[in-house]
Amino acid sequence: MTASVIKHVVPYYSQWESADLVPGFVSGADAARDPLWAGSGADSPEEYAFWAPRMCGVACLRMVLGSLGLAVPPSVELVKELSGAGAYVRDGDAVKGLIYQPFAEYVAARWGLDARSAPVLDHGAVRDVLARGGLAMLSVHWSIRTLAPVVDARGGHLVLAVGATEDAVLVHNPSGFPGASQRYASVPWVDLDRFYAGRGILLGGRTG
């Protein structure tokens, strides 16, 4: 790695409409009481509250679209589109997803983006895609928001890699804490693998 700094201009979206209320939501506050829930495009506060904790990937996609100057659909509207594409599979109160391959295929078809599922994605590949102007969704454990010293699992949550330095990857975290770990949060490369499942989705610019 070189000492150069990569930092792409990317708007931030939380997976909850009220980004400043994330600490309460992750601690168990009822998301149906989010005063901005209607902005999600959900039909009811309850529908929004069901999907909000599951929309980290949708938030990452919204950030990517915004960075490219494309229209950014409301979050629950995107969930419904992605469910139709097979990227989310709901069975009652259980949801399987985000499923990378159908997600990447739909993003490529819908917006003409270079989107690829990456079942194996090492640090070097993350930095390379960032250096080429792309972005990367990384599968990490939610506790990356505080850089917890002890983690009981890897993966399960998606953050968007938006930059890098010699020492750290910079991420927009859809469930990060305001003023601390939402925007351009610095995660040292030496700490990343405590949280990182080593897979993700690579997203570049428009192909056409």
Q: Is 36 helix (H, G, I), strand (E, B) or coil?
A: coil
pLDDT for 20-73, tens place per residue? 999 999 999 999 999 999 999 999 999 999 999 999 999 999 999 999 999 999
Which run of H or of E encompasses 82? helix 75-84
Which amino acid belongs to residue 203? L
Predicted local distance difference test score (pLDDT) of residue 68:
96
Predicted local distance difference test score (pLDDT) of residue 208:
52
Predicted local distance difference test score (pLDDT) of residue 204:
85
The list of the chain residues with pLDDT below 70 reads 1-3, 206-208
CB 89 within 8 A of CB 83: yes
Phi, psi of 10 (to 5 degrees): -135, 125
Residue 98 to residue 180: CA distance in whole angstroms: 26
Predicted local distance difference test score (pLDDT) of residue 206:
67
Predicted local distance difference test score (pLDDT) of residue 2:
46
Predicted local distance difference test score (pLDDT) of residue 1:
39
Predicted local distance difference test score (pLDDT) of residue 3:
52
Residue corresponding to tokens 């080429």 = 132
- Collect all residues with Cβ–Cβ distance below 8 Å to 25 and sequence separation of at least 6: 16, 31, 34, 52, 53
Tokens of 192: 């990343």
